[in-house]
Structure 1
Amino acid sequence: MTGRVGIVLVSHSAAVADSVAALARGLAGGGSTAPVAAAGGLPDGALGTSSERIVEAARAVDGGAGVALLVDLGSAVLTVKALLAEGDELPEGARLVDAPFVEGAVAALVTASAGGDLDAVSAAAAEAYTYRKE
């Protein structure tokens, strides 16, 4: 157990989820980072959302401080909401975070790695909506 908030990146594509996780780890700086796992695509490699992959990833990163789930779009949102509503498959303290996928993942991981609690991680990820690119 790490005692830090875990991050799960849910995408319709395994390649996208894996790449965003790698990018977030790289940009989170040196040293030890909070646990982050990708949950992308279907078990057969096709595009889609797998509740089994999401549950497995959430359990893998759960260190007892909560799990922030960031999603890309559509059915990923619906699948995470359904899992949260069921209440027994995801770790206690799991939360869907409304944030942009890439920028939110980086902000969430940086904050979690610095020891931020689930509220701080969620807020940092959501704040990424305000990042201007002009």
Structure 2
Amino acid sequence: MSKVGIVLISHSAKVVEGIKEIIRQVVKDVPIETAGGTDENEIGTSMEKIQTAITNANQGVGTLVFYDIGSAKMNAEIAIEMAETDQVTLIEAPILEGAYVGAVEASMDKSLNEICAAVEKAF
């Protein structure tokens, strides 16, 4: 069965890779994609990386997008608008803790709406 995917967006590739590593200690079967840093691998965000991560994380049952600060949210919102699905949700929660809760909930085959509610309740 397909699982809701997780996208981690940060100004730093190291930050999102570290968060993914933490989550992978507990959750192995949920799609988790990262979009960290600019296209030149500097501090910042990349619309292309975000769009690719959203596409790769989506298995047809929904995708949750978590971000760190500032332009990461703005670029995530634009990428979600450009995505050819309405099953992508930007989550207002701490990136590490929120993504962890989201991944655990997704691993239990919960729906996008159920996972969003669980993350929102936790924070």
| 1:26/1:92 CA distance change after superposition, 3 Å | same
Question: 2-side partners of 1:54 and 1:6: how far apart?
Answer: 13
2:113 to 89, 113, 119: 119
Q: Residues 55 and 108 (structure 1 numbering): CA distance in 2 closer, same or farther, change over 3 Å?
A: same
Q: Could you tell me the TM-score, scaled by structure 1's length?
A: 0.84
**1:100 lines up with 2:94 in the alignment:** yes
- 1:16-61, Cα deviation, whole Å (9 max, x unpaired): 0111011112133xxx421011111011110001111011011111
- Partners in 1 of 2:73 and 2:90 — Cα distance? 8
Distance 2:16 2:93 in 1: 15
* TM-score (normalised: structure 2): 0.91
Change (3 A) 1:105 1:90: farther
Amino acid at match of 1:111: E
Structure 1: distance between partners of 2:111 and 2:11: 27
Deviations 1:71-102 (A, max 9, x none): 11111111111223xx3335441110111111
Once the two structures are superposed, the pairs formed by residues 61-72 of structure 1 within 5 Å of their partners are 61-72=57-68
* Stretches of structure 1 lacking an aligned partner (at least 5 in a row): 130-134
- The residue aligned with 2:16 is 17
CA distance in 1, matches of 2:29, 2:84: 22
- 2: CA distance, partners of 1:80 / 1:42: 14
Q: Where does residue 132 of structure 1 map in the other structure?
A: none
Structure 2 residue runs of 5 or longer lacking an equivalent are: none
The answer to whether 1:81 aligns with 2:80 is no
Looking at CA atoms only, which structure, 1 or 2, has the larger radius of gyration? 1
1:27 and 2:21 correspond: no
Q: Output the aligned Cα RMSD.
A: 1.5
Aligned residues: 123
For 1:100, give the aligned amino acid: P
| Whole-Å separation in 2 of the counterparts to 1:124 and 1:8 | 17
Contact 1:104 1:124 in 2 (8 A): no
